[in-house]
Amino acid sequence: MNRILVATLVSATTISAQAAQHEHAEHHHHDHEHVNSSQLMKGKGKAATPHTIKANSEFTKTLNFNDIEVFKNNERGLIKTFDEQQSRHLHHRFDSLHTGLKSHNLAPDTVNSSLWRQAQANFAANGLYEVKQDIYQVRGIDLASTTFIRSDSGWIVYDVLMHDKAMSDAMDFFFKHVPQGGDKPIIAMLYSHSHVDHFGGSRAVLERFPDVKAYAPHEFLSEAISENVLAGNAMSRRGNIQYGATLGQASATGAVDAALANGFSAGPSHMVTLVPPHETFPAGDIEKFHERHIDGVQFVFMDTAGTEAPSGNVAYLPEHQTLWTGEMVYQGMHNIYTLRGAKVRDALKWSKDINEMINAWGGDVEYLMGSHSAPIWDNTNIVPYLEAQRDNYGFIHNQTLRLANSGMGIQDIGAKIDAELPDSLRKLWHTNGYHGTYSHNARAVYNMYLGYFDMNPANLNRLSVNEEANLFTQAYGGCQAGYKTAKQHFDNGNYRFAGVMLDHIVRACNDFSPARMLLADNWEQQGYQAEGAGWRNTFLTGAQEVRIGTVTTGSAKTASVDMLANMTVGQILDYTAIRVVANQADGNDFSINIVLPDINEKYRVDMRHGNLSNIKVKTLRDADATLTIDRSSVTKMMLGEASIESLIKAGSATLEGSKKPLKTLKNATVEFDPFFEVMPRPDSGKEVDKTIYQ
């Protein structure tokens, strides 16, 4: 077992890459320039074109800015706004741009007016709030909110943010300003689901309250660690783009929002941590509703696995008439497919589980709160809200399949679905596509049922991206002629088609600066028009990378002993297997037995046909080598604190039999480049419009 890059492994469990922990030069194979994000803090994009101004203006006319209910809900129950200590985690990056209700209807030309309003609403979350007697929330310090519920002996905290430092300050702020009970301990913490922004601050709670007990839904730990480990490097790179992590300080031409909140907490010492749950609740197919009393508080948990997360639940607190929705609903439409990459979620089950919530508690609930957005009060407001959320996911599922069964392909469905949206949903703010757009969610539903292929033979065996780009550019008449045609489309505001042409031309004609400049301008304008936060960030990051190359800092740091220690050895071996280059390993067959005496586990590893397989066993068979090593030493290797050779030399591990398998494995595995090329980047010295980012 050779050394594994910790950042690559751990980043898979997060929404963005921990790029700051690596030096790009030792991984990158092309001569591209990379820029430190500190240079981007005062970046200025180009102005909106007349076409963008017109598109945003026309869209604005369809919006009802007289509806300010979400801002009223944001203010309700406010006890204390953040001071500088709390604001440093997130709020300070946006306070030069946003003002909340004051500017909710005054979007600049370079921002879609609906996304601008969502950003103002998210910015308005800024402190400690009372939901009702004995229930409080700290909102606006991180991507998610954290909720405190009074119990017999102290407090139960529901969801503990993304980073330890943010959660520590959230607790300080809560205990200092809560009207009563600020001297009481946290007795229990509940994880609503298996995404990192809901458990990443857990160690901060444990360190302050060593007796705290953690509770989680079925299969939480395995899903929290493994949901996307195998595609972790790719997901980290993509997440960095989706969340605009390298765009710097918020600006009217840069990042303005992250849909669920303005963004996530960040800082030089922020860490994602994970305290394993002491208890997990039953699976939904065994016990859909699970009633528990935790330190005197009655909870009725409902399993929601397979909807927004592979492991999750919601809960009803009967004594409080309060429904905790986790991330099943928020002020917007969520992702059926998230742009950073994840398994497609089940839109039909999502809709049905919201219906289960309505059926079970719709007659009694008076308070609704969740992981994101402000609470909603009063049954007459809550039930219609839940019904619209239910029907929004139902719409995406049912209408996508109606169109597919009528013969429409995946690309056309993405373009068509918004026109199918009923007016009764369109007029609501809280069903808008800020996180998950109708376009990419519809394509996700199609893909879940029918896959990516639309049965058009032209799409069955296409050339590679760059081969196709070269041939298309030839068909356009070459770099100059193609650019001229693409510019005509750009000048006419036909940005979607011009962007495809220009992507071809820039890939085929890397040094042709006019096309590179225009492609970046094109994506920038599409970003300015996007209602979805992920779309905006993706377009703007694409423009940035086409102009100056990949920025290597600005994303979250997530490496954590907690995360590593809770990975199974099988998961580590699975990840090692995807780092093997098959045609290099082919013909170098071997077998290794791995014995971990401290956890009483044994594994068999075989290299055959260039594929590394592993299985957990009870009895060892003959093998070329047997490696005996403690689990703690495996963690040291993953952290880069030791190599297998140094551990053997120190006596912390032993190897019996041949040394050749370890050497073969080491020579056949690769380290992934966390900054691999996505957009066609310029070669060093060929950057364009660099002054935008200075």
3-state secondary structure 597-646: CCCCEEEEEEEECCEEEEEEECCCCCCCEEEEECHHHHHHHHCCCCCHHH
Distance, CA of 13 to CA of 9 (rounded, Å):
8
Residue 587 pLDDT more than 60?
Answer: yes
Instruction: Average the pLDDT over each of 14-23, 149-158, 224-233, 381-390 and give the range with the smallest value.
Output: 14-23
Confidence category of residue 564, pLDDT binned at 50, 70, 90: confident
Are 341 and 235 within 8 A, CB to CB?
yes
Question: How much is the pLDDT for 227?
Answer: 77
Pairing status of strand 146-150 against strand 279-280: unpaired
Q: What is the pTM of this model?
A: 0.92
Question: Is the pLDDT score of 2 beyond 70?
Answer: no
> Three-state SS string across 237-261, please?
HHHHHHCCCCCCCCCCCCCCCCCCC
Q: What is the pLDDT of residue 86?
A: 96
194 vs 228: CA distance, rounded Å: 11
Is it the case that residue 62 has pLDDT exceeding 60?
yes
44 pLDDT above the threshold of 80 = no
Give the Cβ contact number of residue 373 at 10 Å. 26
What pLDDT, on the 0 to 100 scale, is given for residue 560?
66
Fold held by 568-668: Nonspecific Lipid-transfer Protein; Chain A (3.30.1050)
Residue 555: predicted pLDDT: 58
Tokens, residue 116? 């601008």
Q: By percentage, how much of the chain surpasses pLDDT 70? A: 93
Could you tell me which of 44, 24, 259 has the C-alpha nearest to residue 691? Answer: 44
pLDDT digits 0-9 by tens, 469-518: 999 999 999 999 999 999 999 999 999 999 999 999 999 999 999 999 99
CA distances 646 to 48, 652, 692, Å, are 58, 8, 48
Whole-angstrom distance, CA of residue 160 vs CA of residue 198: 5
Residue 556 pLDDT greater than 60, yes or no = no
**Rounded (5°) CA angle 386-114-100:** 90
Please report the pLDDT score of residue 34 as a whole number.
35
What pLDDT sits at residue 157?
Answer: 98
CA angle 188, 192, 198 (to 5 degrees): 85
Structure tokens of 479?
A: 């770099």
Report the phi/psi class of residue 209: left, alpha or beta, with left for phi > 0 and alpha for psi in -120 to 50.
beta
Confidence of residue 43 (pLDDT cuts 50, 70, 90): low
* Confidence (pLDDT) at 156: 98
Residues 387-400, mean pLDDT to the nearest whole number: 98
Is the per-residue pLDDT at 559 higher than 60?
no
> What's the whole-number mean pLDDT along residues 200-225?
96
Match 């960095």 to its residue by tokens.
240
Q: Answer whether residue 337 shows pLDDT above 50.
A: yes
- Averaged pLDDT, 580-600: 97
Give the per-residue pLDDT at 27: 32
> What confidence tens digit (pLDDT) does each residue in 102-135 have?
999 999 999 999 999 999 999 999 999 999 999 9
- Reported as a single tens digit per residue, the pLDDT across 12-35 is 333 333 333 333 333 333 333 333
Whole-angstrom Cα distance, residue 339 to residue 414? 14
- Least confident among 351-355, 587-591, 593-597, 640-644: 640-644
Arithmetic mean of pLDDT, 620-639: 93
